[in-house]
Amino acid sequence: MTNFYSKTGVKLLVLFINCFISLSFGQTTIYSDNFNNGCASNCLATTYGGWTVINNDGGVSGGSSNNWFVSCAEEGVTPPGCGSSCIGDASLHIGADAGGGGDMGASFNETGAVNATFKTVVSPTINTTGHSTLTLSFDFIAYGSAGCSDDRAQLRLSTDNGATWPLGYQYCLTSVCCGACNGYSQGQWTTYTLALPAAFENNPNVRIGFNWRNNGNGSGTDPSIAVDDIRITKPIALGVDLISFTAEKSSGNGPNINWKVANETNFSHYELQRSYDGTNFTKIYKVNGNCSNKETCNYSYKDVAQNKLVYYRLKMVDLDGSVNYSYLISLDESSSTSSQFTLISSSIQEDQLYVNLNTKKKANATYTLYGISGKAVFSVSDVTLKSGINQHNYDVGKLSKGVYILKISIEGETASITSKVIKN
């Protein structure tokens, strides 16, 4: 059987408004790879940037085994989203062998033993000397069998330049599907985050591997794998704390954008950026920091009238060039807006889930958190909502670090509210 996967665009609307978060620390990147090689299709991973492939890793590959490619035949999509054909953002992915159609994006052949694939694609050597408290993250699509026993994708890590890949550093990769996980629907792009063990700190011989196992039993019931935007980061102290960031309608033309900060130290400037899709941002205003001798400071900017849904974020730049971005805020100035329930903000801070909801009428709601596998990991029902601002927080200390989707279901309403939250 040959598996081909439908590719349709899906985007969750994520609204982060007036979220009171202190941003004392940011992240600096010590290694990254976005795989943008300019190739449309059929560029083997072994021809890209020092990446290599280990064949027969965990089994014997068949005569027409699937291959690792780097190309935009499988477009790198900002999570959460579903697969796309080539636009220009290449990814690392498993595709078919040349005789079975070649690189058609993240799709693979499974007609029988001839397509059995046991291959690990391996990064160049990564030197983390002088760096600690490291976090590995990347965007991916994958869906594998239970227990990593059948067709599946796996992250593997090495501390000795690829000489060994210990079992303790092997992690199954699975994402929710864009539709039923039946072999014909592709996985949803998801961000994977892992706090690297101490053995990977101050180590000149780190390598990252992705193992694809296709056991050649003639039954392919799961999407292929694609990987994009690998990052290894470490925390850095930033020169400012962002206390609040808001967008408000005004009686005149255009919204008022306001932000409040504290502890500006060795700080350069702010860039206010605007977007109409929540992904692509343009700078609309720049102001130098002027709060070094004060406890707190307020900044503001009046934008031109938009009359549509618009997103804003702040780019904050230290004197040494270190950069951090604020959470997103949004504002809909169109006259057609009449929502009875508006999510003001949602976040996880210090093991607490915070939800800030504005309602125009009383109601009961259910808050549910879903992991990247699509499984509900936390839920609270019979939440009483009063007319006005509703602020709730819940203990989620038992949840592991990672990305979650918050779903708010309101009694009597057919549509639910969804938001992405991250536990660091």
Domain boundaries, the chain: 27-235, 238-335, 338-424
CATH number of 27-235: 2.60.120.200
Do the two domains 27-235 and 338-424 of this chain adopt the same fold? Answer: no
Largest CA distance in the chain: 71
> Tens digit of pLDDT per residue, the chain (424 long)?
233 322 222 222 233 323 333 334 456 788 999 999 999 999 999 999 999 999 999 999 999 999 999 999 999 988 878 877 788 899 999 999 887 889 988 888 888 899 999 999 999 999 999 888 899 999 999 876 656 777 889 999 999 999 999 999 999 888 877 776 665 567 788 888 898 999 999 999 999 999 999 888 887 655 689 999 999 988 766 678 888 888 887 766 788 899 998 888 888 999 999 887 666 778 999 999 988 777 889 999 999 988 777 878 898 888 878 788 777 777 766 543 346 777 777 888 878 898 888 788 888 999 999 876 667 889 999 899 988 888 898 989 888 888 788 888 888 876 678 777 888 7
Determine contact, residues 379/394, Cβ cutoff 8 Å.
Answer: no
Enumerate residues 6+ apart whose C-beta is below 8 A from 318.
238, 239, 240, 266, 267, 268
At 420 the three-state DSSP class reads strand
Q: Which CATH number fits domain 238-335: 2.60.40.3880, 3.40.50.300, 2.60.40.10, 2.40.30.10?
A: 2.60.40.10
Kindly report the pTM of this predicted structure.
Answer: 0.57
CA 295 to the chain's CA centroid: 34
At 46 the three-state DSSP class reads helix
- DSSP E strand boundaries for 1-103: 25-33, 52-54, 67-71, 91-95
**Can you name the CATH fold of 338-424?**
Immunoglobulin-like (2.60.40)
